[in-house]
Amino acid sequence: MDRVMMREHSPEKRIKDFREVALGFSEKEALEEAGRCLLCTKPSCVKGCPAKVDIPGFIRKLREKHYDRALDEIKKTNTLPAVCGRVCPAEFQCEKSCILSNKGAAIAVQALERFAADKGNTARCTGQKGKGSKVAVIGSGPAGVTCAADLALKGYDVTIFEALHAPGGVLIYGIPEFRLPNQVVREEIEMVSRLGVSIRLNQIVGLTVDMKDLLKDHEAVFVGVGAGLPRFLGIDGENLINVITANEFLTRVNLMKAYRFPEYATPAYKAKRTIVVGGGNVAMDAARCARRLGSEVVVVYRRGEEEMPAREVEIEHAKAEGIRFMLLTNPTKVLGDKKVEKVELQRMRLGEPDSSGRRRPEPIPGSEFLEGCDQFIIAIGTSPNPVLLKKLDVEKTNKGTIIVDEKQQTSDPRIFAGGDISSGEATVIQAIGDGKRAAEGVDDFLDSKK
């Protein structure tokens, strides 16, 4: 049987609004795709899942049309199934490990997880009796909410401290509505609140909240603040008007609803021509947002398409939406009178592999040329934000990330960390895995003190 492909809005329609592109499976489609699963007794797909979801287990329940039970099965190990069912890079993880991928198409695990999350209702909203210990969680992204939910289920008194005015972290500010609707994130986090987790917004630990006070008032702390400090290119002209990082651009568009201005107060510049530099999912998100705001968009990347870290589906969606790719090209200078008007670019060629395993891009002398634009978006990665890190007396790497052990415990036994703040730039499901391990680590640590 052929893999069932998820239906989508057409490119002609979707570039005019921010509606979700992927439409999800109908019941008939989900049952047909679930019927392809071999229900392996030793499932390799589970090994490929950072959250260790019992994939054959929930698919079996889907096939029996027990949709609530299917969702409960997923939620045993994954707090955010509706989120992961939309943005998890399953093709690199569980689906890559599916035994069917050896001879054909892997089971559409991600699409089936989304169906279960959207169709089912979970009763998993009560934890154990209170243990009397208070735990603080800094950050309400995927690592933070997972750790908080698991600790609440174990009976701990958990409070999340979130710097922004809405919970969700990168899920709410960094991923566009057309990939992950904010309503989906809100509903998943509401489930966490129903477990008894308290969420305090507009709380910047390290500034408005003192880290010492937090450690004084709580028996343990989990740090899941992500890596929200954008990197710059370090070239002339980056201070010109309309040169913007993808972080700021996506926050304006997603969290502040700039695409609905003036209904929402924060505007976004609607450029005639936008150049986005970068090859990851964030670059694709920024490019596709700019396209929906009416801009002609060019993505500039210093390597070839095979080396792009973005998901293949995101690259194909961008191409279908009319976004042009300028590969083996790198910006060297931004030009303009107060505002960006042009970008100087240089052709590149690939040399020997670097530490990432990808061939290192090398500039071709004398190949510089100019490209006009009135908006330049930088999407080349992020680093840990130093606001909180300066207040944390724990061991860190030379890149500023927090060093943790296999239980996500830091050099200070009371402090645990996970997600991008400890691993660099990770996926949502990897952050969820970190949050789960941290919850186990916190539980073991506090039990050992009794």
Instruction: Break the chain into its structural domains and give their ranges.
Output: 11-119, 134-228+384-448, 230-381
Supply the DSSP symbol for 429.
H
CATH class of 11-119: mainly alpha
Mean confidence (pLDDT) of the chain: 93
CB atoms within 10 A of CB 160: 27
* Rounded Cα gap, residues 119 and 13, in angstroms: 26
Inform me whether the pLDDT recorded for 182 exceeds 80: yes
Q: 82-107: b or e for each residue (b if 16 or more CB lie within 10 Å)? A: bbbbbbbbbbebbbebbebeeeeebb
**Span 237-248, mean pLDDT?**
97
Closest-CA residue to 204 (of 419, 389, 45, 438): 389
Structure tokens at 368: 């510089």
* Rounded Cα gap, residues 55 and 78, in angstroms: 11
Write down the pLDDT at residue 128: 59
Structure tokens at 364: 């071709």
Helix axes 109-119, 67-75, angle to 10 degrees: 110
Write down the pLDDT at residue 228: 84
Domains 11-119 and 134-228+384-448 share a fold: no
**Span 111-129, mean pLDDT?**
79
Closest-CA residue to 199 (of 163, 228, 246, 153): 163
Write down the pLDDT at residue 400: 87
Query: What's the pLDDT tens digit per position in 184-215?
Result: 999 999 999 999 999 999 999 999 999 999 99
Least confident of 36-40, 173-177, 228-232, 286-290: 228-232
Confidence of residue 390 (pLDDT cuts 50, 70, 90): confident
Query: What is the model's pTM?
Result: 0.94
Write down the pLDDT at residue 125: 53
Task: State the greatest distance between any 2 C-alpha atoms of the chain, in Å, as a whole number.
Answer: 70
Closest-CA residue to 434 (of 158, 154, 73, 50): 50
Confidence of residue 312 (pLDDT cuts 50, 70, 90): very high
Structure tokens at 159: 């409070």
Query: What's the pLDDT tens digit per position in 413-446?
Result: 999 999 999 988 778 999 999 999 999 999 999 9
Q: Is 193 helix (H, G, I), strand (E, B) or coil?
A: helix
Cβ pair 98, 52 in contact under 8 A: no
What amino acid occupies position 404? V
Q: Is 47 helix (H, G, I), strand (E, B) or coil?
A: helix
Q: CB-based burial of residue 161 (10 Å sphere; 0-12 exposed, 13-18 middle, 19+ buried)?
A: buried
What residues contact 3, with CB distance under 8 A and at least 6 apart? 33, 36, 104, 105, 106, 107, 108
Write down the pLDDT at residue 121: 81
What amino acid occupies position 255? L
Cβ pair 418, 222 in contact under 8 A: yes
Structure tokens at 191: 């489930």
The alpha carbon of 77 is separated from its chain's Cα centroid by a whole number of angstroms, namely 18
Q: Is 294 helix (H, G, I), strand (E, B) or coil?
A: coil
**Span 309-333, mean pLDDT?**
97
Least confident of 175-179, 253-257, 359-363, 382-386: 382-386
Kindly state which CATH superfamily the domain 134-228+384-448 is placed in.
FAD/NAD(P)-binding domain (3.50.50.60)
The CATH architecture that domain 230-381 belongs to is: 3-Layer(bba) Sandwich (3.50)
